[in-house]
């Protein structure tokens, strides 16, 4: 789930009359959409007024923890938009069902790099402040590098790379301890995995890591690209984040980690059964259970 620090950054991006696009890759149960919708409704009355919350199971590793979905009324075309992209049809349907007919919350069924390429080529994000929350994974194809290759074309953006190794905080031998991070095919999600994409870019960018883990004890990397020093200071000042130079050796040491799939029951299930089958079955069971 998204860190509350991002709420502060989004509200500092807001000048009261500008458009802000929050683009999430990887929707799943739409928990982050629900959270950002709450933040946006407090920032722009046109985003809608919250009359209450509907509790739906969908959080935690087995989708058994309740997520709170704001019930929005008086919704108009707002300056603030949420787009969330997933290539798994039930994830797309989750948003359609939980935020029906909402012009400000846009679910997209597509592979994330394809969708980002299309939006950027069509200029859909031009003239907006953009914050990308990059959280699409779980399949054999890990789209992060292809997503970033598209986002970089914008030259000015904020990107949050969820589940990233935090140097000096994450445990290099245990991806699941505090400041947890993702590992695919023995490769950690860390700055080293993506930094070559930024070689030779013609804009300034800076990197920040959280001083404390996001909810669910996960790490992340915050990338600010194309902002002046003054704008950057305004966005991050006083927040529990620490900067790290792109060439700081602390996050340049290449480090493989060999995860033990038998140590993680969920990974074991996934290696034996197709992911779509496991997720579809869980969603079916959840639909049979009464709402909390």
Rounded to a whole number of angstroms, the minimum distance from the CB of residue 276 to ligand SAM is 9
Q: Where are the alpha helices (DSSP H) in the chain?
A: 5-13, 31-43, 89-98, 112-121, 144-151, 191-194, 229-236, 265-272, 275-288
Rounded to a whole number of angstroms, the minimum distance from the CB of residue 139 to ligand SAM is 4
Choose between 8 and 25: whose C-beta lies nearer to ligand SAM.
25
In 3D space, the residue among 206, 203, 209, 195 whose CA is nearest the CA of residue 158 turns out to be: 206
57 CB neighbour count, 10 Å cutoff? 20
Rounded to a whole number of angstroms, the minimum distance from the CB of residue 27 to ligand SAM is 6
Decide: 56 and 98 in contact? Cβ < 8 Å: yes
Choose between 15 and 287: whose C-beta lies nearer to ligand SAM.
287
End-to-end CA distance of the chain: 20
* Structure tokens that stand for 258 in this block: 């060999």
Rounded to a whole number of angstroms, the minimum distance from the CB of residue 10 to ligand SAM is 15
Choose between 149 and 244: whose C-beta lies nearer to ligand SAM.
149
* Structure tokens that stand for 162 in this block: 């969820």
Choose between 92 and 209: whose C-beta lies nearer to ligand SAM.
92
Rounded to a whole number of angstroms, the minimum distance from the CB of residue 7 to ligand SAM is 14
- Residue whose Cβ sits closest to ligand SAM: 26
Q: How many helices (H) and strands (E) does the chain have?
A: 9, 12
Rounded to a whole number of angstroms, the minimum distance from the CB of residue 17 to ligand SAM is 29
Choose between 21 and 227: whose C-beta lies nearer to ligand SAM.
21
Decide: 149 and 114 in contact? Cβ < 8 Å: no
Rounded to a whole number of angstroms, the minimum distance from the CB of residue 91 to ligand SAM is 5
Choose between 29 and 104: whose C-beta lies nearer to ligand SAM.
29
* Structure tokens that stand for 109 in this block: 């069924």
Rounded to a whole number of angstroms, the minimum distance from the CB of residue 64 to ligand SAM is 14
Give the list of residues 6+ apart from residue 258 with CB closer than 8 angstroms, or none: 186
49 to 2, 20, 54, 176: CA distances (angstroms): 21, 18, 14, 38
Choose between 95 and 227: whose C-beta lies nearer to ligand SAM.
95
The site for ligand SAM (CB under 6 A) is made up of 1, 24-29, 31-32, 85-88, 91, 111-112, 135-139, 141, 143
Give the side-chain half-sphere CA count within 13 A for 155. 7
- Going by the DSSP 8-state scheme, the letter that residue 74 receives in this structure is S
Choose between 194 and 227: whose C-beta lies nearer to ligand SAM.
194
């Amino acid at each position: 789930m998204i860190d509350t620090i991002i709420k502060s950054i989004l509200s500092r991006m807001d000048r009261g009359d500008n458009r802000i696009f929050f683009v999430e890759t990887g929707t799943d149960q739409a928990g982050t959409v629900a959270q950002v919708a709450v933040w946006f409704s407090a920032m722009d009355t046109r985003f809608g007024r919250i009359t209450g919350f509907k509790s739906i199971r969908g959080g935690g590793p087995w989708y058994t923890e309740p997520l709170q979905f704001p019930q929005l009324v008086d919704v108009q075309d707002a300056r603030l938009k949420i787009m969330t992209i997933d290539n798994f049809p039930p994830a797309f349907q989750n948003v359609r069902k939980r935020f029906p007919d909402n012009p400000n919350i846009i679910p997209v069924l597509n592979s994330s790099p394809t969708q980002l390429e299309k939006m950027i080529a069509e200029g859909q994000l031009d003239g907006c402040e953009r914050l990308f929350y990059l959280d699409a994974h779980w399949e054999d194809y890990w789209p992060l590098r292809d997503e970033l290759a598209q986002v970089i074309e914008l030259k000015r953006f904020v990107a949050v790379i969820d589940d990233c190794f935090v140097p000096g905080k994450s445990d290099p031998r245990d991806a699941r301890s505090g400041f947890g991070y993702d590992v695919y095919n023995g490769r950690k999600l860390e700055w080293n995995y993506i930094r070559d994409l930024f070689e030779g870019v013609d804009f300034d960018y800076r990197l920040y890591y959280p001083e404390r883990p996001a909810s669910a004890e996960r790490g992340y990397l915050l990338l600010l690209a194309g902002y002046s020093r003054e704008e950057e200071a305004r966005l991050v000042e006083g927040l529990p984040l620490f900067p790290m130079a792109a060439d700081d050796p602390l996050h340049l040491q290449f480090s493989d980690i060999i995860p033990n799939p038998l140590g993680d029951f969920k990974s074991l299930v996934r290696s034996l059964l197709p992911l779509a089958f496991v997720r579809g079955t869980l969603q079916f069971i959840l639909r049979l259970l009464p709402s909390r």
